[in-house]
Structures are given as structure tokens and as C-alpha cells.
Amino acid sequence: MTTETAPAETRLFIGGAFVDADGGTTLDTINPATGEVLAQVAHASPDDVAAAVAAARSAQPAWAELPISDRARILRRTAELIESNAGRLAALESADAGKPITDCRAQIGGTAEWFDFFADVSAHLRSHVVPTFPNHLNYTLRQPIGVVATITPWNYPMPLYGIKLPAALAVGNAVVLKPAEQTPLTALALADLMREAGLPDGVLNVVPGLGETTGAALVEADIDMISFTGSTEVGRKIASRAGERLVKVTLELGGKSPSIVFADSDLDRAADGALFTFCVHQGQLCSAGTRLLVEESVREDFVGRLVERAEALRIGDPMAADTQLGAVMSDEQMVRIERYVASGIEQGANPLTGASRAEVAGLEGGLFYRPTIFEGVDTRMTIAQEEIFGPVLSVLPFTDDAQAVELANDVLYGLAAGIWTNDLRRAHRFAAAVDAGLVYVNTMNLLAPWSPYSGWKQSGLGVEGGIEQASSFTKLKTVWVNLGEDVPRL
């Protein structure tokens, strides 16, 4: 372990202080590129979770009463501190999550942008005066929900804190964050920076721990809303509990997104984009384009370009600046990828490249997997339907636009879709026809804090990003004022 990747904090963050877990229990967090234990992190018990929620509950009213400009200053200062600590945060994230350091650095910069964008978003959540009856004033107010529980996965730790925390905090909520058990380190580092930025005690609390214990306790706690990102399976469980309790919930879940390549597109650009979307972060992203729909007339040519590119990717030490593919998150994740690849072969698909682990000299204990491209895939095969969360692509040929749309929509998920074409009419027709919350034309996987998105079908509920997300962290209140003499009478 280098000094850069030695975490400054491994304890829970509750009520503005770092504290040991109740009973002193810890969980190991592992560097997936080496297999070594990176740190032992406090494991929050249900009592710790209750303490964190109580701290949030008592801090929230004063936070909500601060002038917007005071809350904005703290969030902007956080953005600056994220930037000035970017090197340290990127190294920590790379070691904890196994992803290339260059990607991490870029993502830390992106995280700061989310804090910047949402800083004063409350000022832009306009209320409305609603025309009703003569001599009556009717207007709406947007008020904070209260205590928001955020539960996040391991694939994009810092970016997801950026996506969830500033929007919730800016509009006056307090937050209890449960980061993924595999990647808790940058959440604690961020809490420390927010304290330095002047965030009042208790407004943000961080409780690392397992999903079934710490996460489940948070879902049952005295909270007003849950903002979850992770698997569809756990999202469904959380939403059903939230439904019983009538606690508001937003979900950003899995995906099985299509990349659709038409013969009229710029095939080299499309090949770069199609490679990026299924390989970035080893395919461990919800919006990965893992179904490649390619027009039959260019299939052989296009797939050839893709295989060539996949085989040229540099798989290696995530800490090396020229590494393009780092490690897979965990043994569990590796076993899952291998199981899916085996099922593809069993069901008759043909791997053109990959389908095996990669060895990285000097990192023999690391978890590396080769980008894998399957041909001869039927849309009903398991590899074409389920989220693998690894660098595994299914190629599905089509012959006309109608079949492309049909194949694009023939999955349970509906997060993203990419279309590669130079035909403007086709691009817009397709954008309207596809069942996905995010459509990309001649690009893939872009996000910006001010651009809202939402998962369709089994990919989620609610919206992230933009003023729409900030609004979703508020409750609507309607005020009726009688300006005249008449009152309702029996």
C-alpha cells in the first residue's frame, strides 16, 4: 500500500464526528487488482444506523432554515476541496474499486461539477401562483422531504455521491449515506472534506456496512425518502418495503442497453463507441451497451473492427497511467461473469474473442477479464437478456429499421440506447420509438449534472440529474389564502 492509497478515515461518520462501530466490528475492503486487504472499515450496526438517522433528524431543520446562499457556499466549497484533493481521492478510488487511475481522476472532476451545479439549485425551484377562484390566492411551496437515506453500489462510488448528495442537501434535506461494502473509502474521505467545507454536524452521516444488515436497517429507520442505486433485485426489495411504509423511493437499477449500428454510420467511430460502452470500467456500469445490434450488410466488417479494437486494449495495473481496463470488482463478480460466458457457450453462442481471464504480470492475485464478443446470439439467450456486469457483448444482426427497434426493446430493462447513423430522420424516429430513458445518437454514456435522466421498465423509478432531481427531493405544499369575505359554510 502506498501512502496515497492509505485511507485517512475508516470509521463511521455520525453527527459530525468519526466514531468506531458499536462493538468495534469491522469489514475488510479489498484491492481487486492485488487481492490484498486495503483497510478494515467500521461496520455500522443497526444501533449505529439509528444514531446516524437521529443525528440527521435533529440537524435537518436548522440546515433547511439557512439562507440558500449559505448552503450553496458549503456545497461549492466542497466542489473546490474535491478538486484540490483529486489526486488523493482518485488513488483511493482506484485502489478500492480496481478501476484505471485516469478514469478515476476524470470522474472525481465530474463529481465536483455535480456539487457545483446543485449548490444553489433551490433558488431555481420556482413556486407557482395557481389561478383558482376570485378573491383567492393559491400558491405552491417546495419544502425539503427531511431525512434522505442514500444507498449506493461499488461501480462508481464518487460519481454516485455526486449524483445523490448535493441535490438532496441543496434543497435542505439531511442525508444518511450507506456506501457499498466493497468501496467505502472515498465516502468517508468525502465526509471529511464536507466537514472541512463547513457542513454542520449531522447534515451528512456515513454508515458503511453490508446490505442485508446495515442497508436493511437504514431502510427500516426513521427516514423520509430512499434514493437507491444498485441491482434490480435489491431495488425491488427496497421499493416494496418503502411501499409498505409509504416512504418515497427513487431507484436507478440495472440495464441491458442496445448499441445499434446502421450501415450508413461512420463505422470506425461507431466501433470506438461500441467498444467503449461495453468495456469501460470492465463493463460494470448500468448503462453499458452490451447488446450490439448491427445491420447485416456490414456485420462482418463491423464486428471485425470491434474484435481488433478489443484485442488491442491494454489490461493492466489500474494505477498505471496508460491502463485502459483494470480489475473486476470481486471474486463474486468474476464468478458471475464466468458463469454467464459459460451459459452463452452452452446455449450455442460463439465467442470471437476473450472468454477468459487475463494475466497481468506482477499482479497475479488480481481479477482481470478479457473483453468478450459473442456472435451467433439469439435474443432469447441468457447472455442477451440479463445484466452481466462484465465486458461481455452479444452481437445481434438486423435487416431493417423495424427489426432494429423490435430487438432494441426486447429486454426487461430500459436504461439507455445508442444509435449510430448519419440519417437524421432515422435517428429521431428511433429516439422516439425506443423504450429507454436515455438515448444517444452517435455517442454513448454521457451525463451532465444539469441533464435529467430516468430508467424505464426494470431500470428504475424517478429521475436523477437536473432541476427535476432537486425537485424530487422536496415535498409539494399548496397554500390557499382567502382575500375576501366569503368562507365555506354549511
Is residue 238 part of the contact set for ligand NAI (CB under 6 A)?
Answer: yes
Q: Does 237 bind ligand NAI (CB under 6 A)?
A: yes
Among 145, 204, 216, 407, binds ligand NAI (CB under 6 A): 216
Comparison of 155 and 259: residue with beta carbon closer to ligand NAI: 155
Map residues 331-350 to x or -, x wherever contact with ligand NAI holds by CB under 6 A. --x--x--------------
Judged by beta carbon, residue 42 or residue 267, the one nearer ligand NAI is: 42
Chain centroid to CA 259: 20
Task: Return the closest-CA partner of residue 114 out of 403, 379, 466, 361.
Answer: 466
- Applying CB under 6 A, does 397 fall inside the site for ligand NAI? no
**Residue 396 Cβ vs ligand NAI, minimum distance, rounded to whole Å:** 20
Q: Which of 206, 211, 219 is nearest to 21 (CA)?
A: 206
Q: Which of residues 154 and 276 has its CB atom nearest to ligand NAI in the complex?
A: 154
Alpha carbons 229 and 163: distance in angstroms, whole number: 10
- HEC string of 358-393 equals CCCCCCCCCCCECCEEEECCCCCCHHHHCCCCCCEE
String of contacts with ligand NAI for each residue 126-155, x by CB under 6 A: -------------------------xxxxx
Pick from 175, 253, 341, 373 the residue near ligand NAI by CB under 6 A. 253
The residues annotated as belonging to the active site are 252, 286
- Rounded-to-10 torsion of CA 214, 218, 221, 224: 170
Task: Decide if residue 229 touches ligand NAI (CB under 6 A).
Answer: yes
Site for ligand NAI contains 328 (CB under 6 A): no
Judge whether 149 and 219 are in contact, CB under 8 Å. Answer: yes
Q: Which helix (H) or strand (E) holds 484?
A: none
What DSSP string describes 100-168?
A: -HHHHHHHHHHHHHHHHHHTTGGGG----B---STTEEEEEEEEE-SEEEEE--SSSHHHHHHHHHHHH
Based on the shown chain and the rule CB under 6 A, indicate whether residue 281 belongs to the binding site for ligand NAI. no
User: Cα–Cα distance between 486 and 484 in angstroms, integer?
Assistant: 6
Check residue 316 for interaction with ligand NAI (CB under 6 A).
no
One residue of 25, 231, 343, 347 binding ligand NAI per CB under 6 A: 231
Question: Would you tell me the crossing angle of helices 157-170 and 101-118 to the nearest 10 degrees?
Answer: 10
Nearest-CB residue to ligand NAI?
211
> Which chain residues interact with ligand NAI by CB under 6 A?
151-155, 178, 180-181, 210-212, 215-216, 219, 229-231, 234, 237-238, 253-254, 286, 333, 336, 387, 389
